Chains A and B, each alone.
Chain A
């Protein structure tokens, strides 16, 4: 009996603490795993300054979209942007937070990072099994003067559904009509060839352990593991390296003003040195907030992050948005209104 009483008391205590924490000002979000480290880092610094706590659950982009649709969180986060009509269907507003790049990595004995040049079309042909060996003449054509080994190509992809895969397959669809019609783009697809590793580290491990393999990982993984990457051809035809500056170039040159609801994949963007496989990660909020103060808290957090969070993001190998895009986003926040129809945040 005592035990039951004790348990009941404990439960009451937990509930009490939880309601208290909510009263002290806290916002909740759920979704994409890719930006979770930077969101948590921002949250830590923000709480130290403002006492407002952010509780972010990295449950995956799919989960983030479902949670915001069900209004169980104050904001959802997704690596896969929703088109304007899909946003409108659920009364949502979307805006980007940080940028990441995806880097093709390979295991070619004797090759240094950045030695191999790759075009989008060739990458698609490798991933659909049309190019099977590294000494294929098509690859040699893009790499004059480079001796490519007689080594079968092992294709490695993500096994788990992920925004990285969505962006990568979207790029292949954009570059190769074959890919678009046969496979398509999604956060997981029916891969024609190859094997799947779980997460970025799973892909990186398979690539490291398999001579002749090629995979794709987020920039941070390629950088931290010093993997052999390929130079990709940008829209201008130049072969460029995956660097933070080149990801930023892709975001800066993108035509955000012409992207309704910020639905924009930063793939093959125009301008010099724009890394072709770049993408932003997004926040989803209800356009009509039932609690204006809560909506204000969320937007205040992201406003603070745009102002003060760039260094933290760069430290974690994310790329901050260019200043002009941030201004555009702040303007778009006027669409987020409270029950009285007035913008919740200015």
Chain B
């Protein structure tokens, strides 16, 4: 899609004046340099992650990805616990944030009285500007106790012994664990997705929407069958943006996830993510294998993010082919 949408760059018309030509050359050179620098940085990061992580990767092999052992005393490391934690929290956060982000965006573009449009839009953008450490502290000191009291404890006491709900809700009733971390993540990625979706919806030509209304469609019908399909490709990009942030988020998660390297067994069980594990242990990792294992974790996160972006590209391409 992207390839067909952007026409092949037409040959640049150069100005004949020598001054203009010089400026043009410098400009081209700078742009080329910027792009090359970016690629070089990307390549450099991958190479240094592989080199730094090599002692661990060569020692544990592929088993590094599938073992849940994480024992700094015996220097045996496996990434499975943090990988699973990262994927679960990111997916849950996306699941929670997407409907709300969509709702916010639709409300702002279709339903919101003009007077409120700006304050709500600004509030969403402000939410995006809050540093993640603030979310972490808020999560630990404010959100966790409230969550434990009004959601976790009622759920735990409502669960019948042996039921699925009981399996899902076993844990320490203090508002920490996988689900609370996912909720914090959801709040963090919500503004990004909402703001991007809103911008996307605003690109729908007024004529298209107005004709749909003119045909007698309700707001819901306009949103679901006209504007949403119109921005579908861009929306996937917005979702991936949110997912990318959720995968790499560090501080807020570290505060509240409980930081246990085992597989989480329930929604309220302690877990860990790749980013939180690195943040927790990197400063005090003294043995070379420990450091290497943490760098390897970084490489794994890099590859996961890469895979997510690749998947997004693939989806976009397929969507493009369909249209």
Residues of A within 8 A of B (CB): 33, 59-63, 65-66, 80, 154, 159-163, 183-191, 194-198, 202, 205-206, 209-210, 213
Contact = CB atoms under 8 A, between A and B. Distances in A.
B301 interface: no
A59 B259 CA distance: 21
Grouping DSSP codes into helix (H, G, I), strand (E, B) and loop, the A interface class, with mixed when no group exceeds half, is loop
A90 to B, nearest CB: 13
Interface stretch (B101-109, B117-125, B169-177, B214-222): B169-177
6 contacts: A61-B286, A62-B284, A161-B281, A191-B260, A195-B177, A205-B144
Contacts of B174: 154, 206, 209-210, 213
Interface in B35-89: 69-74
A209 B144 contact: yes
Contact of A188 (B72, B173, B291): B72
A61 B140 CA distance: 26
A202 B73 contact: no
Grouping DSSP codes into helix (H, G, I), strand (E, B) and loop, the B interface class, with mixed when no group exceeds half, is loop
Contacts of A190: 69-73, 261
Which 9 residue pairs spanning A and B have beta carbons closest together?
A161-B284, A60-B283, A159-B259, A196-B259, A184-B73, A195-B258, A210-B174, A190-B71, A195-B270
Contacts, number: 100
Contacts of B90: none
B200 interface: no
Given A196-B259, A198-B255, A161 B140 contact: no
Given A65-B286, A190-B70, A190-B73, A160 B172 contact: no
B280 interface: yes
A185 B73 CA distance: 7
Contacts of A196: 258-260, 270, 280
A202 B173 CA distance: 16
B286 A195 contact: no
A195 B73 contact: no
Most buried by B among A61, A154, A184, A190: A190
A189 B281 contact: no
Contacts of A189: 71-73
A308 to B, nearest CB: 30
